[in-house]
């Protein structure tokens, strides 16, 4: 059973930065996809970024809505994926979730973390 634990959320003023972490356990796949999603108040869940890893090498993708401000990275040794969020604005306020699938990206995610809340004030 794969378990995901997010951390790093909090409150920040517009223009500030936060780094979210997602630590995974319980998987042994050498090929997997991990994604970051968010769901703001009254909004649908949307993808933020994802990283596809095969034999320790990651390939990243950042969605247009946050491109240029957010980056995704990972530390394989720590089994942790990071979401660096810069130039935050109130529209980034949301609960951020990480998700995992033991295969290529685009196939859905059966495992999700509990979420970490980010609040950006103007």
pLDDT attached to residue 17: 98
For the segment 7-23, what is each residue's pLDDT rounded down to a tens digit? 999 999 999 999 999 99
pLDDT digits (tens, 9 = 90+) for 54-78: 988 889 999 999 999 999 999 988 8
What confidence tens digit (pLDDT) does each residue in 32-54 have?
999 999 999 999 999 999 999 99
Cα 86 to Cα 4, 15, 102, 118: the distances in Å are: 23, 7, 29, 13
Q: What are 74-106's pLDDT values in tens digits? A: 998 889 999 999 999 999 999 999 999 999 998
């Amino acid at each position: 059973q794969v378990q995901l634990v997010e951390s790093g959320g909090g409150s920040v003023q517009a223009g500030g930065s936060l780094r979210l972490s997602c630590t995974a356990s319980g998987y042994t796949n050498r090929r997997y996809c991990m994604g970051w999603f968010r769901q703001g108040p009254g909004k649908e869940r949307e993808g933020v970024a994802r990283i596809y890893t095969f034999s320790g090498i990651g390939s990243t993708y950042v969605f247009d809505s946050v491109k240029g401000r957010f980056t995704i990275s990972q530390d394989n040794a720590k089994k942790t994926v990071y979401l660096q969020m810069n130039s935050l604005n109130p529209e980034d306020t949301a609960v951020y979730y990480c998700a995992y699938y033991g295969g290529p990206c685009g196939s859905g995610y059966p495992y999700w973390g509990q979420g970490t809340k980010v609040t950006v004030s103007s």
